[in-house]
Structure 1
């Protein structure tokens, strides 16, 4: 399962989390908070205040020796930068990595295991924050939960909300995806599922964990392809799970069979609270980390939460649509639609009726998709104003709207009935017309060639004063 093959590393890609933080700092995009910011609410409050602009490093939060970093993924451009590609290349690069993964390489020693705790007290040993006001307590939110198929040994990497329920006990929400499939296999055999929660990794590993991959496709191999070099992994100290050797922190344990305990509420990506319910339970067996680790956290429902989940879904949906509609140019899951529910599709329109087919194809691409807007190639789908303009000037509700009732949606959408949702499609493309001016956008000639530094004076106040003096 672990092998190498030659592939050039991307020299522009930071080596690990620390290298990425150093790059953000050099660009002036990493803020550092004062010491002793409280892990309970205050850290998340500070992070939210600057989430559109900066990552934040918190030294000694609540007096803890381990610093906490947050806001690593609040902009799509940062995701691209961390992978050493342009923002325009981000989705094609992700798709190429998913289609041609690079297997991991196993090593025997690792920075992630420089310090080993077998007597575990999570809240004393790790600076785990509480984020949203009504969260049930501290949560690990940026941890890669790595599990192994109990039969084949193939690993899965995903992110789950992990509630600290005791010194060595974690409540975990398992949605109906691959981790849950592996757990049910182990539970039916009367065994716990060996897992590790990995905290503090290169952004590529976090991004790969969100890939919509098939069962028994190891997302860590996708991360290797994103990086252009194999991810080095090491065997855990107390189980058979392999974890990234360069990780900051690793929590080793087992999801216990036939055990359920209360978990939640927790602030989720739709900006509502996921409810309290009986969930699966992790028994922690060990904590390992670097000598001076950094703890990464994601505030529930923050931009970081949205962007991290959005980019891999965009890539998968783009690939899905282009199979049937080659003239699909790009897609975007909007932040206002929680980077999950609202999709915008840019097309080079060739025939009437096609946008409606694309809308229906998008609904089939992922059950989370609730609204699809199809626009022409002249629309900037990263701009909410541009999308609204297209709807305002190219859409008529009685002609261009598609509604599907009673479809499967997201159970985290509080407006659904146990996940049963209506779907809405809007064809905001211009009708094909022989009149060249019918839907041609206005344009000021030369606008794109203007060099403002050559046209505008550097001291406008002084210039204004001179003009006033001349005319008075």
Structure 2
């Protein structure tokens, strides 16, 4: 028995309802499978009521972050906890344990109703891993789920997104401005001494981080050449009205600030939006928008196009930035261009502690607007999936075919940053190395590029590993790419910010590549061809027993 009464209370709370109990304890995603010979009548009733509950929750496109969370919770993808002690880094350890158990693509979202920060219980909720599960992408874009099959569901989502593309780009629908009285983010308006960001449930994610962080803010900036931009940049919580601000060199916000400094400006106004709908959040956090051309881009218009309806926006209090009206919170401030402070370190995307910056930008906070009891999203960077990856994957698959004509698809596993799997339709000797080298030379994050044949599913790491072990010839099917620009956060980069890369051609090697005259065929392929009824027989007789069910989660309460 522990001497800590608070710990004992939490143990008893959790023991009263298993962490795998989703709502009534039945997987909504498997409702169609529950109506089977082995399901009881009570189970059938629960399945029906759960499915009905899903029908009643908001659907895509989501008007707000809260609507989206309600939807994924109805699908059993949320573990809701009454209290988490982040002074003991309980939330961080819990997130690691969940990804240890379920992997990055099936771990649940966590909602902590209250969280302990600096010795005090702070009202939340704090939400983490809100887009970790495969199914969250389909829910975001209104795609029907394939029960118990995250990969198949993800592919359905990709197919829908491919259908959206017009000339290789997502469509645009311009945002619409609403009156401030209609904007949920304006329920409360704070200025001056009334602002105290430290009283909100922003946490220190890891014990080695320098401080608490606002790490899911979408920072809105503007420059006369670059135009409008919003992107996700970490913000160190330095005081009630002071943030550190970390746009990496060559990121759009950094270029905006540098351009303003070159024009002789002393400061740049900024608005940081928190708690956004999943489409806006994904655009903020990924490479959906093409910033290679000089043409200005309205990213909120792209969000509208992907949503199928315009984003509602409202003008900021202290600047002209138009921000999502449904946001949980807007932090408005001024970035002085000559007043820098140390910032970091912070646990970053590769899963390692990032560098401490001896000088970095700051934000002097001028106003904060927020909903009543704002929901705080935290990202455990480098430990969880942060946003929907299908939109970027679809764009890359489409645009990079200009460089690699026989490209079928790419996949960069989020749990192994730096790795990329490339699936091609091989038509000639040397094509695997050529394809991999082209991609490694232009995409900084592609450090280990593994090229496979069209019969290998790049979303299945087991199949990729099998191809490496059985098809790769290291002596002749390997290419080193040396002295290339590294990702800024890559912990292996040298003092000049460079790395080397490797291309592994794990396609079947042809005779011209010193491969066999005839490559043996896979046993499974032969089974499928010579005994095609065998799998149908097994699925019919034993499918209900062997089929892996999706795990669902729900509230843990007293």
Same topology, TM > 0.5: yes
- 1:362 is displaced (CA, Å) by 0.7
Q: Does 1:173 align with 2:246?
A: yes
Matches within 5 A, 1:220-299: 220-277=300-357, 278-299=359-380
- 1:152 is displaced (CA, Å) by 5.8
Runs of at least 4 residues off by over 6 Å: 433-437, 456-459
Distance 1:161 1:456 in 2: 46
1:40/1:223 CA distance change after superposition, 3 Å: farther
Q: Does 1:96 align with 2:165?
A: yes
Distance 1:385 1:243 in 2: 43
User: TM-score, normalised to structure 2's length?
Assistant: 0.74
- 1:185 is displaced (CA, Å) by 2.4
Q: Deviations over 1:195-246 (max 9, x none)?
A: 1111111111111121252163232222212211111111111111111011
Tell me the C-alpha RMSD between the 2 structures.
2.6
Equivalent residue for 2:455?
A: 378
Q: Does 1:403 align with 2:403?
A: no
- 1:435 is displaced (CA, Å) by 9.2
- 1:310 is displaced (CA, Å) by 5.1
Distance 1:402 1:116 in 2: 57
Of 279-288 and 352-361, more deviation after overlay is shown by 352-361
Matches within 5 A, 1:22-37: 22-35=70-83, 37=85
The gaps in structure 2 that reach 5 residues or longer are 1-57, 144-152, 547-558
Matches within 5 A, 1:26-425: 26-35=74-83, 37-38=85-86, 41-51=89-99, 52=103, 53-62=107-116, 63-85=121-143, 86-91=153-158, 93=161, 96=165, 98-109=169-180, 110-118=183-191, 119-124=194-199, 126-149=200-223, 151=224, 154-175=227-248, 176-188=250-262, 189-209=264-284, 210-211=286-287, 212-214=289-291, 216-277=296-357, 278-305=359-386, 308=387, 311=390, 313-338=392-417, 341-418=418-495, 419-425=497-503
Distance 1:46 1:179 in 2: 33
- Secondary structure of 1:291's counterpart equals coil
User: Quick check: 1:61–1:68 contact (8 Å CA) kept in 2?
Assistant: yes
Equivalent residue for 2:536?
A: 449
User: Quick check: 1:128–1:138 contact (8 Å CA) kept in 2?
Assistant: yes
User: Quick check: 1:71–1:304 contact (8 Å CA) kept in 2?
Assistant: yes
User: Quick check: 1:170–1:283 contact (8 Å CA) kept in 2?
Assistant: yes
Distance 1:90 1:172 in 2: 34
Matches within 5 A, 1:432-443: 432=510, 438-443=519-524
1:31/1:453 CA distance change after superposition, 3 Å: farther
Of 130-139 and 23-32, more deviation after overlay is shown by 23-32
1:201/1:439 CA distance change after superposition, 3 Å: farther
Q: Deviations over 1:434-472 (max 9, x none)?
A: 99962422223335424546347979xxxxxxxxxxxxx
Equivalent residue for 1:21?
A: 69
- Secondary structure of 1:399's counterpart equals coil
- 1:292 is displaced (CA, Å) by 3.0
1:455/1:414 CA distance change after superposition, 3 Å: closer
Distance 1:155 1:450 in 2: 58
User: Quick check: 2:509–2:516 contact (8 Å CA) kept in 1?
Assistant: no
- Secondary structure of 2:339's counterpart equals strand
Of 16-25 and 316-325, more deviation after overlay is shown by 316-325
User: Quick check: 1:213–1:219 contact (8 Å CA) kept in 2?
Assistant: no
Q: Deviations over 1:371-396 (max 9, x none)?
A: 11110111121122211110111110
How many residue pairs get aligned? The number is 444
User: Quick check: 2:383–2:415 contact (8 Å CA) kept in 1?
Assistant: no
1:99/1:425 CA distance change after superposition, 3 Å: same
Equivalent residue for 1:465?
A: none
User: TM-score, normalised to structure 1's length?
Assistant: 0.87
- Secondary structure of 1:60's counterpart equals strand
1:165/1:30 CA distance change after superposition, 3 Å: same
- Secondary structure of 2:71's counterpart equals helix
- Secondary structure of 2:416's counterpart equals coil
Of 220-229 and 266-275, more deviation after overlay is shown by 220-229
User: Quick check: 1:317–1:362 contact (8 Å CA) kept in 2?
Assistant: no
